[in-house]
Structure formats: C-alpha cells, structure tokens
Amino acid sequence: MPETSGTPGRTPETHVIDFRAAEQLLNARDPRGAVKLLDPVIAAHPENTAARLLRARAFFASAQLRPAELEFTIVLEREPDNAFAHFALARTYERQGRRDQAKRHFRLAAALDPNPQYLKAAQFDS
C-alpha cells in the first residue's frame, strides 16, 4: 500500500488506531503516553480538531499547561462555540493563576452550554 499520510510508515488507518489508543491511555491515566501517540497523528492531520482537543486534555492531565493552552486555543480558533474547550482553557488558566482570563472562558463556556459544572465555575469570585 502506498504511503499517503505524510508520516513515514503510517497510514490513515494507523492514525485512527493511534487516536483510539490515545483515548484509552488518557482514560487509564497515562497522558504522556497519549501525547506520544497523538503527535504523529497531528503532524499528519494538523486540521484534525478532535485530535488536538484530545492532545490538549492529555497535556493538561500531565500538567503541561503551556502546550495545553496552545492546543485549546487552536481548537477555539476553529470552533469558537466549543463550550468544553472554553471550560478546559479556563481550567488551564486557573492552574496558571491567570484568574481574569479563566473567568472570561468559564463565562463563555456557561453561556454556550448551561452545564451545571460550567455555570458553577462561571460564578466564582475574583
């Protein structure tokens, strides 16, 4: 089979397998392992928002806050109405001590989705 994915030795099918395996690793509390699987997927498919969101979650779970912030920001540039991405970016800012930025994204998440968790976070005091 000819190579078409842009990553040597990888095919679109193996990227799907790697994405699913990365989900499992993240669920099994191995976020660094998930990031390693997702790096070549995103290198081959930089437009894949789902892979970027999963990698952002993995970065966050492994306390790599700057890379998490970058990935959540990229997701929001492509999907500005993604309430979860706003909420997760807000949590990232919160862990960095950037309360004003966190508050803004908590409120955006709550405005986009009345999820009780988002609503509660949007109302924290400065």
Question: What's the whole-model pTM score?
Answer: 0.87
Query: pLDDT, tens digit, for every residue of 69-124?
Result: 999 999 999 999 999 999 999 999 999 999 999 999 999 999 999 999 999 999 85
DSSP E strand stretches across the chain:
none
Q: Are 117 and 87 in contact (CB under 8 A)?
A: yes
In 3D space, the residue among 40, 99, 109, 97 whose CA is nearest the CA of residue 72 turns out to be 109
CA–CA distance, 70 with 49 (Å, rounded to integer): 13
In 3D space, the residue among 61, 10, 1 whose CA is nearest the CA of residue 37 turns out to be 10
Element (H or E) spanning 46, and its range? none
Q: How confident is the model at residue 13 (pLDDT cuts 50, 70, 90)?
A: confident
In 3D space, the residue among 53, 61, 64, 69 whose CA is nearest the CA of residue 101 turns out to be 69
Q: How confident is the model at residue 1 (pLDDT cuts 50, 70, 90)?
A: very low
Q: How confident is the model at residue 39 (pLDDT cuts 50, 70, 90)?
A: very high
